[in-house]
Amino acid sequence: MTGAAVYIVGMGIVSSLGLGLDETTDALINARRALTTSIPFPIASPQHLPVGAVSLAEAGQSPPRTHRLARLAADQALAGCETPPDAIVLGSTTGGILTTESLFGQKIDDPRRYGMHALGSVAEDLARRSGCTGPVVTVSTACSSGAVAIKLAVEMLRCGLARCVLAGGADSLCRLTYFGFNALQLIDPDGARPLDRDRRGMSVAEGAAMLLLSLEPGDAACPQIIGAGLSCDAYHATTPHPEGAGAMAAMQAALDDAGISVSDIDYINLHGTGTIDNDMSEARAVKTLFVSGLPPASPPASSIKGATGHPLAAAGALEAVVAALSIERGFIPANVGHRTIDPALGIAPVTSPLKRPVTTVLSNSFGFGGNNASLIVSRTSRRPDTSRTASGRPGLTIVGRACLTGTGLTDETRRVFFAGYACRGLLADGTLAQGLAPRLIRRLKRLPQMALSLAVHACNGVDAERMPVMVSFGTAWGALSETHDFLERLTETGQQYPSPTDFIGSVHNAPAGQIAMLLGAKGANVTTSGGDYSFEQALLAAELLTRQTADPIFVAAADEHHPVFSPLFDASVRLATQPADGGGGLLLQRRQAKGATCIDLVHYGSGEPADGMKALIQALGGAAAMDRRFGAVMVGLPAGRRKQAQRQLNSFLELSRFQGAMIDYRRLTGEFGGASAVASVLATEMVARGGVPGPLVGGTDQPLNGKGMLVLGLGDVITAIRIFPS
């Protein structure tokens, strides 16, 4: 193997098939189809499309539905665990939006009622309940989210960042996805029939699955994640590459990561949504990888989405659990709903459950934006070669940079900020579109335009060999304009004419997909959503995914201001003196470069425990190293958590005894989720120049004398980004 295998020491699952491992196994062995027309929200149309709904007991003032599903799965995975996980990585696309939809439809404008809207609130809820104080990361890459979350968790363990990680995915049914996929004409009114000749589309579903992962086995027989691969089609916002190029790249990357060949695969758990294009693309990729022809040239293959429906972000994690169950209990699930072989596919799926030994499973998950993820689950006695986790790799060098704020793009923001003036506000659409071809942004609203602007300007003038292969993008709230406009039109038209364009744009990873298509970036494509710390999560993902490669990666974060949703969702926006939005982006590459400026995420942990600040100081090398390593600190104190953040800052100063310049950057940038990305770009400028402009420190210019700068994030989470000369 080329990477350390990771043991699955706990599992939890909830879907339309049932609750827990036993109910799920029983339903799969008996090929039960669990689709229903019972939907957990009112439908105006007399025709209810079949969905994969979970039977949840109503519980008064319980949290939003996605949170409840995630809790059920996490409680199973953590059962009997005496210590909390070191980290949590969760994939989600819905968060608390089902609750938001109801409130919005009733025209309720009390911000307290929207407190669990954010995607990141699901993982944060699990962290509070489990006692996890380490990194809590939310991944939103559409239908591959759960599998991507598992990949990041595996890399956390391999590099020693954690000893035990809870990873998975959770999504609930909601109006956005139910009506959105139907508006795209991707729903089969008779229920999903993956790979069937007469398939007409998918069935939207809900569910959650969580895996407790460790480098130490729970018992001698527990399955392992031995490989994981990511890719991006960089082809189309919704349609997969017709030849399955991205899907094949993800599968091959997973095989390479595991150090095995196609002949070692006993079963392929297909993504298999039942849509015409997706099934064809995946079938072509499988045939190409496993040699053309019908089985037995390739191993048995099936999709379980005809039984469960498509639970979106939960799909990859749910199917990873099913892969582990196939190995533990010796069966291959049927492709429920399949009746007639489609000769155009060249794949004949398993139509009845097979009782047989299974050692190694390849599980696929693909999503909007061309996001592809493949996992390999196995029970193998081979010990991995862990040399790939060795330290001493070059740091992430900053090759290009860009930012935008209310005053303009990079040069104008730098000029105003370095003069000590506020650059907060809302950039005019015309200025935002500078450098972007009109055809490129014709149907794009504010957030994707911001993302593309950052990518274009950060990569301007960069050599072809340093153009990004990967993309890691952070956003606290996603595309608010598209989400608002979709829900508003859905309400105004009595649920009859929702906008398919707004639905496509509403997914959190849509901007990252646009960046990939623009730049031709076909490597990993990750979107994170963790509130004010979304950029830090994107940077963490970038560091994890580039540990064994020198491929350039574009890391960015941005958030738009929306007049209706921003004040409802974000406490800092409500307290701000004026509306503001913006973002920042860095083109990074892991390489040695004398005289370059480098970046790394030194610390990411909870802001709650009393010893959280002590952990930060220790991660920074101790108090004695602070003045030696850092010439200035850019500190972010979110307005919504300013009292808490100020206490943390006082503790930081007391423990670190730092005597250098402190810059309260959010007073100048304004309040928005991607503010730390702007601060990181501006800190990079100062490190490259070798000094801090006088207006920022109330006096004359302050030389850095070869030292770096620290971008410190405070509030609910404590983060530290180090920017330093190589």
What span, in angstroms and rounded, lies between the C-alpha atoms of 411 and 428?
16
Of the candidates 143, 159, 403, 598, the residue annotated as catalytic is 143
Mean local confidence (pLDDT), 357-382: 92
Spatial neighbors of 341 by CB under 8 A, at least 6 apart, are 197, 348
Active-site hit among 67, 271, 484, 603: 271
Rg (CA), the chain: 24
Q: Which two tokens stand for residue 137?
A: 């990361």
- pLDDT (average), residues 378-395: 58
Residues of the chain with CATH 3.40.47.10: 12-52+65-297+304-389, 396-725
Return the pLDDT at 297.
67
Which entry of 67, 241, 310, 338 is annotated as an active-site residue? 310
Per-chain mean pLDDT for the chain: 94
pTM (predicted TM-score): 0.97
Angle, helix 446-458 to helix 480-492, in steps of 10 degrees? 160
Q: At what angle do helices 315-329 and 21-29 cross, to 10 degrees?
A: 80
Q: Give 692-704 pLDDT, tens digit per residue.
A: 999 999 889 999 9
- For the stretch 275-301, pLDDT in tens is 999 999 999 999 999 974 444 568 999
pLDDT at position 446: 97
Would you call 484 a catalytic residue per the annotation?
no
What the block records as the tokens of 304 is: 């379980």
pLDDT in tens, 615-670: 999 999 999 999 999 999 999 999 999 999 999 999 999 999 999 999 999 999 99
pLDDT for res 560: 98
pLDDT of 380 reads 79
Which has the closest alpha carbon to 329: 6, 19, 22, 12? Answer: 22
HEC assignment per residue over 99-152: HHHHHHHCCCCCHHHHCCCCCHHHHHHHHHHHCCCCCEEEECCHHHHHHHHHHH
The reply to whether 159 belongs to the active site is no
Task: Write out the two tokens for 654.
Answer: 């007391």
Average pLDDT for residues 474-481, to the nearest whole number?
98
According to CATH, the topology of domain 396-725 is Peroxisomal Thiolase; Chain A, domain 1 (3.40.47)
- The helix/strand/coil state of 562 is coil
Q: Which of 70, 384, 4, 2 is nearest to 214 (CA)?
A: 4
* Nearest to 3, CA basis, from 250, 259, 361, 318: 259
Q: Residue 391 has what pLDDT?
A: 47
> Taking a C-beta distance cutoff of 8 angstroms, is the pair 361, 239 a contact?
no
The DSSP annotation for 629-653 comes to HEEEEEEE--GGGHHHHHHHHHHHH
CATH superfamily of 12-52+65-297+304-389: Thiolase/Chalcone synthase (3.40.47.10)
- In this prediction, residue 220 has a pLDDT band, given cuts at 50, 70 and 90, of low
pLDDT 10s digits, 534-585? 999 999 999 999 988 889 999 999 999 999 999 999 999 999 999 999 999 9
549 burial type by CB count under 10 A (0-12 exposed, 13-18 middle, 19+ buried): middle
Among 55, 51, 93, which residue's Cα sits nearest to residue 192? 51
Helix (H) or strand (E) holding 324: helix 315-329
More confident residue, 708 or 44: 708
Torsion sign (Cα): 185, 187, 189, 192 = positive
Question: What is the percent of the chain where pLDDT is above 70?
Answer: 96
For the cut 60, the answer to whether the pLDDT of residue 250 exceeds it is yes
453 pLDDT band, cuts 50/70/90, is: very high
Is residue 271 flagged as an active site residue?
yes
Nearest to 554 by CA among 607, 609, 517: 517
